Structure 1
Amino acid sequence: MARGKTVAICQFGGEFISTSDGTMTYTGGEAHAIEVDHNMRFDDFKSEVAEMCQYDMCALSMKYFLPHNKRTLITVSNDKDLQRMVDFHEDSVTVDVYVLAGEIVAHNVSNVVDNRASRTTSRTTVVDSVPLKKEKALVASMTPLLSIGDPMDDVSPHRLNSPWENGITGLGQEFKSVRDFREALCKYALAKGFVYKFSSNDSNRVTAKCKGEGCPWRIHASKLPTVQKFMVKTMNDVHTCGGETVKKRQPHIKQQWIADLVKDKLRDNPDCTPKEITTNLYQDYGVNLTYQQAWRGKELAKEQLQGSQLEAYSQLPWLCERIMETNPGSLATLTTTDESRFHRLFVSFHASQHGFNHGCRPLLLLNKISLNKCPGILFAANAVDGDDGIFPVAFAVVEAETSDSWNWFLVQLKSVVSIACPITFVSNKHNGMSEAVPRVFEGSYHGHCLHYLMEDFKKDLMGSHLMVNEFKCAAYACTAADFNSCIDRIKNISQDAAAWVLASKPNEWSNAFFRGSRYDHLSSNIVDLFNNWMLEENELSVVEMVHMIRRKMMEMIYTRREASNMWSTTLTPSMEQKLQKEIFNSHSLNVFFSSDSVFEVRDSNSANIVNIETWECTCRRWQITGLPCMHSVAVFNRTGRNAYDYCSKYFTVDCYRLTYSESINPMPDLVDTPLNGEKPLNGDSTPITVVYPPRTRRPPGRPKSKKIEQQEMEKRARPIRCSKCKKFGHNKITCKEQ
């Protein structure tokens, strides 16, 4: 057998037996062997198995056990599943694959010896002798065997709701309220397997009938005149429909009932989809829900598990005070509207302020993230540490992205960062950002994110791969001559593309003309780590989101501080690697003395002037990146100087450790905030302002679709390129080349 292949022992025709400890064994049937590896496609494997077992390829399914796990069967349904199966058993020569022609129902070992008759169909084998309690345990252990993605018609419900059958006992039964009666009636119908409809339904009387055609089942209950109770007055407990209505939708199921059943599933699997909930509830309770019912029940369960928005927003004043109390020097600002509704929240921890002001380069990357759970936008200001890692400085939740909201965020940010030297901001074209930055941070610099600019370039001009690369080269070009060379190459491809680039204000994104210090960070993609935090936990309330960010920052600071204690170099690892590259490239350069501080450095093509006193080189790489370029390194080698003495202090290990020298302290659990109009009290008996959620309203009417004008269509047309001479402006038919 070739290396990397596994023998799949395909077993079929037998049955599963569930033991008392929950494990399963497969007995009986036949077995055949097939070699499988990573190169085998699932369709080929399934076709070969179907031909071997003489099963219908569309009807069979294949499952296997994980190593050392005989409780859960794993379904193989696509190429990735087949590859995972081979990976899981790479240490084993064989893997047992169970080929099934339909649904699985395992026998209980305690009932295998029972000789009573069993029913057998083409889809499933069910043992009648399984007692109810053992059947519950059996079905619970077999739940992983049922495929979540199977159609509802191919899954049989397991009725585990026998207590509900006694929810309604008959005439004279009393209930505390009409709500309790309706809930008991709903559960009773689910347990019995029928759907009912109301003939009358109000606070004083309720009459329900079975929806089955001609079925006489009927119940009537009304309110007692002397006490606040509901009593069953008449009931005809006879069904002639034979349970035919069980597959119909259940119109009387309440969202709260669904939420109660879904809560445990969401605790174990927060990403559980409404389709999975629909299938699981049908399997467990015989409840046939619509997608909307499952979605609403899930949302209600999530809200109850995570706390309602009202509770979350009411805890914000307490949260702000605890942040500043447990982390002295931090800033947590909360603003509300005249109606005491949430408006804006700004948070910056003291550890972040200290790290940025004492260890990070004066560079801030601004970005926004749309929130799902709470209405509004998240603003974030992230710095870059000495190892080119993201370092969160501050974040805020605002009502919308406007010039006013950005101005407010920057004003709060200005109060926590040092402005001893000009700060460079990098962002995409946010609404109002270009006006807000110079207004709040006078003398600062603002650059546009190259990533978003390139996306606009490709969108507006449908630029070719060659044009996009030249555009990127123009952005990273350090001198005006190199920038113009890139523009000339773009002109040779498309005059319109070159005009677009020149009109996009190169002084805001090109290294050759940008006046501030970006340290070669032309885009804000480095903040993807922070964005991933939010994408992973985007369903949290505003309070939980603040705690999530705080915990991740707390662990990040501790982890990086401990890792830096193991470093023995002068520069951080990433900067050490960059400097070594420049040292390697400097070996072939020639150095000529002009004075003690000025030198001429030549290679085979060009000459550059290096001034080691002012830390400048005419190639401008030294000034832009903060690390010596290969020309300056050649001078250091010739004069016996140490290149590490001419690196920016922000790239040293000492400065990196100073960035992460302060810690974010833990916080206590949230307190329960009264919501009945009373003012909650702080520890010193001072009242805390109650904050209510912001008002949200969907704009009236249908959302308008954007129409693409003919002029815009022509503007986005891809330039014509000849397939013969590879030049632009004509095709091969009109090509004049021989």
Structure 2
Amino acid sequence: MKRELGVQISCNKARRGKVAALHMLHGTPEDSFQKLSSYCHVLGENNPGTVTHIELDSRDRFHYFFLDFGASIRGYMQYLRPVVRVDGSHLKVPYKGTLLLATAQDANKQIYPLAWGIVDSETNRYWMWFMSNLKDLIGDSDELVFVSDRKRSIERAITHLFPLSRHCCCMWHVEKNLIRRHFNASSILLFKRAATTYWVEKFERLMGQIRRVSERCYRYLEKAGFSFWSRALFVGDRYNIMTNNNAESLNSMLRHAHSLPITCLVEHIRKTMQRWFYKCRSNATACSTILSSRMENELQTTFEAGTRLRAHELTSSLTQVGISNNTEIVDFSDNTCTCREFQLNRMPCAHATRGATLSSKSLYDLCSPYYTSEYWRGAYMEVIYPVTQEVDWVVPYEILGTHILPPTVRRPPGRPPTRRKRARYEFTSQLRKCTRCGRLGHNRTTCSNPIVSQAT
């Protein structure tokens, strides 16, 4: 205002003007809550199979909201691996709240959003409500795997509602906890190797090294449960999914929409899903290979690594592959390898590719159909349609007459924060550069290096 119009105003007045402009653009948060039920009705009419739930308290104040697009859930049930990641992120609207997410991974190892929820906070009751709505859509089975952080509320909800499923922890979350507890770099590096290894023997050897380096770190990982965070000891099929970064990426993508009123936030999610499905459907349709583009490249890299190995057929289905004493046995009758990478990822390892070449087997027959381009296209086959303008909405009277009041929230004093406070482990270490000598690791105040004079 001062630079462009020459008007001197206070920061408080500038912020009030900004809030007024946003209300003119998006409407007030109170009006947005009232329009939510009508918007959900029109959204469901334009997108068959879409599920929305709005829960109110006894005073007609907003409590919970659940959203799942019909195109998304049908694509997951037919064409995606049964591995679901769940997480939550805080909203920045005046009435606060938390955005809950459930995501999967498509055949090209890209994010596939499943369900969205808006609640007051991440507590046992809210996660139980969100997971119960999710269970009504995806059901429960012994093949289902959940990946999350170590929140007890998530663990309780999964244990109570999905007794047949498996639950594992995000490796990156455990690593953050190790950094927060000030464990040394050697134990953290050994943990990452132990979490990602396929061999049980190698896992036990690495855990022995961790115990020698830091007994306290070993006790912490043991208390968390070895099978909870390690790939080698996990009971179930988590495929290649070791982290919860799908939900983290969605949180980052929606960070600018976290301050929108609730109906505008839901519309922003719908627009994002519409663009997402169109882009992925176009990429999948243009893919001419049997596997998805990313998995085709991974298979090619694995095949090139396997060409350096020696292979000897033992029987019609058993092949010994390796170099010197470092050999593995590949069994093509049940698609397994003693290195365990073949059966855990459902993709041929280097030993399997070398053995298949010797036996004249097709590498594509050894890959899970979840990685094929056909399943990639099938996941995005349906279209997420837009919502018409508000003046064109046709809503029944019983929905129009539903009163939804905003939740009761006590706003803290001061200006609301716009950026999340980062923890110590989230900062990247940058070396300081001295402006006197130009070297790294110190500044000009502590510089003791001689200045070399340049010849004129």
CA shift for structure 1 position 473: 0.5
CA shift for structure 1 position 352: 0.4
Q: 1:312 aligns with which of 17, 22, 32?
A: 32
The percentage of aligned residue pairs carrying the same residue is: 27
SS of 2:109's equivalent in the other structure is: coil
Does the aligned pair in 1 maintain the 2:90–2:97 contact within 8 Å?
Answer: yes
CA shift for structure 1 position 699: 7.7
Stretch of structure 1 that moved more, 640-649 or 681-690: 681-690
Residue in 1 aligned with 2:120?
A: 399
SS of 2:146's equivalent in the other structure is: strand
Alignment of 1:417-432 (within 5 A): 417=138, 419=140, 422-432=143-153
Does the aligned pair in 1 maintain the 2:38–2:400 contact within 8 Å?
Answer: no
Distance, in Å, in 1 between the alignment partners of 2:84 and 2:156 is 17
Question: Does the C-alpha gap of structure 1 residues 668 and 596 become closer, same or farther in structure 2, counting only changes over 3 Å?
Answer: same
Q: 1:455 aligns with which of 164, 169, 176?
A: 176
Distance, in Å, in 2 between the alignment partners of 1:533 and 1:332 is 22
CA shift for structure 1 position 331: 0.3
Question: Does the C-alpha gap of structure 1 residues 436 and 359 become closer, same or farther in structure 2, counting only changes over 3 Å?
Answer: same
SS of 2:333's equivalent in the other structure is: coil
Distance, in Å, in 1 between the alignment partners of 2:6 and 2:68 is 49
1:638-678, CA deviations, whole angstroms, 9 ceiling, x for partnerless residues? 111101101011100001000010110111123599xxxxx
SS of 1:661's equivalent in the other structure is: coil
Residue 334 (structure 2) pairs with residue 621 (structure 1): no
Does the aligned pair in 1 maintain the 2:47–2:384 contact within 8 Å?
Answer: yes
TM-score by length of 2: 0.85
Distance, in Å, in 2 between the alignment partners of 1:686 and 1:351 is 24
Residue 274 (structure 2) pairs with residue 561 (structure 1): no
Aligned AA (2:409): T
Aligned AA (2:275): E
Does the aligned pair in 1 maintain the 2:29–2:261 contact within 8 Å?
Answer: yes
CA shift for structure 1 position 369: 1.0
SS of 1:511's equivalent in the other structure is: coil
Distance, in Å, in 2 between the alignment partners of 1:671 and 1:337 is 29
Distance, in Å, in 1 between the alignment partners of 2:159 and 2:49 is 27
Residue in 1 aligned with 2:436?
A: none
Stretch of structure 1 that moved more, 306-315 or 413-422: 413-422
Residue in 1 aligned with 2:435?
A: none
What root-mean-square deviation, in Å, do the aligned CA atoms of Structure 1 and Structure 2 show?
A: 2.1
Distance, in Å, in 1 between the alignment partners of 2:174 and 2:391 is 46
Distance, in Å, in 2 between the alignment partners of 1:685 and 1:668 is 20
1:364-390, CA deviations, whole angstroms, 9 ceiling, x for partnerless residues? 111101000142100010110000000
Distance, in Å, in 2 between the alignment partners of 1:365 and 1:685 is 36
Residue in 1 aligned with 2:20?
A: 300
Distance, in Å, in 1 between the alignment partners of 2:398 and 2:110 is 44
Count of residues paired in the alignment: 412
Question: Does the C-alpha gap of structure 1 residues 686 and 610 become closer, same or farther in structure 2, counting only changes over 3 Å?
Answer: closer
Residue 94 (structure 2) pairs with residue 367 (structure 1): no
Residue in 1 aligned with 2:409?
A: 696
SS of 1:299's equivalent in the other structure is: helix
SS of 2:76's equivalent in the other structure is: helix
Residue in 2 aligned with 1:388?
A: 109
Distance, in Å, in 2 between the alignment partners of 1:661 and 1:686 is 31
Does the aligned pair in 2 maintain the 1:589–1:631 contact within 8 Å?
Answer: yes
Residue 293 (structure 2) pairs with residue 573 (structure 1): yes
Q: 2:369 aligns with which of 649, 661, 664?
A: 649
Residue 136 (structure 2) pairs with residue 415 (structure 1): yes
Alignment of 1:79-94 (within 5 A): none
When you count helix as a share of all residues, which structure comes out higher? Answer: 2
CA shift for structure 1 position 285: 5.6
Distance, in Å, in 1 between the alignment partners of 2:101 and 2:391 is 27
Alignment of 1:99-138 (within 5 A): none
SS of 1:386's equivalent in the other structure is: coil
Distance, in Å, in 2 between the alignment partners of 1:316 and 1:307 is 12
Distance, in Å, in 1 between the alignment partners of 2:399 and 2:164 is 43
Distance, in Å, in 1 between the alignment partners of 2:282 and 2:17 is 45
Distance, in Å, in 1 between the alignment partners of 2:43 and 2:160 is 29
Residue in 2 aligned with 1:439?
A: 160
Does the aligned pair in 2 maintain the 1:317–1:688 contact within 8 Å?
Answer: no
Question: Does the C-alpha gap of structure 1 residues 300 and 560 become closer, same or farther in structure 2, counting only changes over 3 Å?
Answer: same
CA shift for structure 1 position 566: 1.6
Distance, in Å, in 2 between the alignment partners of 1:437 and 1:685 is 35
Residue 375 (structure 2) pairs with residue 662 (structure 1): no
Q: Looking at CA atoms only, which structure, 1 or 2, has the larger radius of gyration?
A: 1
1:95-120, CA deviations, whole angstroms, 9 ceiling, x for partnerless residues? xxxxxxxxxxxxxxxxxxxxxxxxxx
SS of 2:138's equivalent in the other structure is: coil
SS of 1:394's equivalent in the other structure is: strand
Residue in 1 aligned with 2:229?
A: 509
Q: 1:682 aligns with which of 395, 400, 415?
A: 395
TM-score by length of 1: 0.54
SS of 1:446's equivalent in the other structure is: strand
Distance, in Å, in 1 between the alignment partners of 2:409 and 2:392 is 25
Aligned AA (2:344): I
Aligned AA (2:193): C
Residue in 1 aligned with 2:269?
A: 549
Does the aligned pair in 2 maintain the 1:401–1:431 contact within 8 Å?
Answer: no
Residue in 1 aligned with 2:206?
A: 486
Residue in 1 aligned with 2:73?
A: 353
Distance, in Å, in 2 between the alignment partners of 1:691 and 1:456 is 40
1:371-421, CA deviations, whole angstroms, 9 ceiling, x for partnerless residues? 001421000101100000001011010111111111111111112225466
Residue in 1 aligned with 2:250?
A: 530
Distance, in Å, in 2 between the alignment partners of 1:607 and 1:343 is 59
Question: Does the C-alpha gap of structure 1 residues 418 and 650 become closer, same or farther in structure 2, counting only changes over 3 Å?
Answer: farther
SS of 1:516's equivalent in the other structure is: coil
Distance, in Å, in 2 between the alignment partners of 1:481 and 1:472 is 16
Stretch of structure 1 that moved more, 555-564 or 378-387: 555-564
Distance, in Å, in 2 between the alignment partners of 1:684 and 1:377 is 30
Does the aligned pair in 2 maintain the 1:318–1:688 contact within 8 Å?
Answer: no
Does the aligned pair in 2 maintain the 1:327–1:349 contact within 8 Å?
Answer: yes
CA shift for structure 1 position 358: 1.2
Residue 217 (structure 2) pairs with residue 497 (structure 1): yes
Distance, in Å, in 1 between the alignment partners of 2:83 and 2:213 is 35
Distance, in Å, in 2 between the alignment partners of 1:349 and 1:410 is 16
Provide structure 2 residue ranges, at least 5 long, that are not aligned to the other structure. Answer: 414-456
Distance, in Å, in 2 between the alignment partners of 1:493 and 1:413 is 43
Distance, in Å, in 2 between the alignment partners of 1:437 and 1:558 is 32
Does the aligned pair in 2 maintain the 1:382–1:390 contact within 8 Å?
Answer: yes
Distance, in Å, in 2 between the alignment partners of 1:357 and 1:382 is 13
Aligned AA (1:536): H
CA shift for structure 1 position 295: 2.1
1:291-342, CA deviations, whole angstroms, 9 ceiling, x for partnerless residues? 2232233223323332111110001110121121111111011110111111
1:143-170, CA deviations, whole angstroms, 9 ceiling, x for partnerless residues? xxxxxxxxxxxxxxxxxxxxxxxxxxxx
SS of 1:382's equivalent in the other structure is: strand
Which one has more relative contact order, counting CA pairs under 8 Å at least 6 apart?
2
1:448-484, CA deviations, whole angstroms, 9 ceiling, x for partnerless residues? 11111101001113422x3322111000011211112
SS of 1:682's equivalent in the other structure is: coil
1:523-560, CA deviations, whole angstroms, 9 ceiling, x for partnerless residues? 11133431122212222111011111111110111111
Does the aligned pair in 2 maintain the 1:533–1:549 contact within 8 Å?
Answer: no
Question: Does the C-alpha gap of structure 1 residues 683 and 501 become closer, same or farther in structure 2, counting only changes over 3 Å?
Answer: closer
1:479-515, CA deviations, whole angstroms, 9 ceiling, x for partnerless residues? 2111122223323432322333333212111001111
Does the aligned pair in 2 maintain the 1:375–1:694 contact within 8 Å?
Answer: no
